[in-house]
């Protein structure tokens, strides 16, 4: 059998541990095939988590369109952005258009946009790396 040396402070992934097992059981075909199969399953699982869902792809596409819209306008409300032809004509993967809820979530979660409130109305603009002060109106 092969000797495998592991330091106690090394952090090993499941795949690392299976590769260590593979080195130990290389003479046993049945165990070797089992460990190789487990490694393949881990690789398949990791490749699936790295791919984007349809909703994530839609959110990225909408964010890019909104960046273009806001680049042409200093600041806009969600309603005004939704009325822009580029957003209004966008059809998501599920066949629906962009909702105000989706747009607000994109604008709120991304650091590419700034939210400034004036007289209880939220205005969004592009974040050019500046820190915006939130202004409360009367």
**pLDDT for residue 124 is more than 90:** yes
**pLDDT for residue 132 is more than 90:** no
- Burial class of 7 by CB neighbour count within 10 A (0 to 12, 13 to 18, 19+): exposed
Q: Is 78 in contact with 100 (CB distance < 8 Å)?
A: yes
Residue with structure tokens 């979530």? Answer: 105
**What contacts 118, CB < 8 A, 6 or more positions away?**
135, 136, 137
pLDDT above 90 coverage of the chain, percent = 42
Structure-model confidence comparison of residues 58 and 2, the more confident one: 58
Residue with structure tokens 């209004």? Answer: 88
Residue with structure tokens 């205005």? Answer: 123
**pLDDT for residue 120 is more than 60:** yes
pLDDT digits (tens, 9 = 90+) for 12-57: 888 888 899 989 988 888 989 998 999 898 888 777 666 778 888 8
Q: Is 38 in contact with 21 (CB distance < 8 Å)?
A: no
**pTM of whole model > 0.75?**
no
Please list, residue by residue across 113-127, b when 16 or more beta carbons sit within 10 angstroms of its beta carbon and e when fewer do.
Answer: bbbeeeeeeebbbbe
Whole-angstrom CA distances from 126 to 32, 37, 70, 89, 131 are: 55, 48, 6, 22, 11
């Amino acid at each position: 059998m092969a000797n495998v040396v592991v330091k106690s402070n090394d952090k090993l992934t499941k795949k690392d541990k299976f590769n260590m097992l593979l080195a130990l059981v290389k003479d046993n075909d049945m165990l070797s095939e089992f460990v190789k199969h487990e490694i393949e399953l881990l690789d398949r699982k990791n490749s699936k988590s790295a791919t984007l869902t349809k909703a994530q792809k839609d959110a990225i596409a909408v964010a890019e369109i909104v960046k273009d819209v806001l680049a042409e306008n200093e600041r806009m409300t969600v309603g005004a952005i939704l009325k822009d032809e580029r957003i209004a004509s966008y059809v998501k993967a599920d066949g629906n258009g962009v909702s105000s809820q989706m747009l607000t979530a994109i604008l709120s979660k991304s650091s590419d946009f700034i939210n400034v409130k004036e007289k209880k109305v939220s205005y969004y603009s592009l974040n050019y790396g500046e820190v915006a002060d939130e202004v409360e109106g009367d």
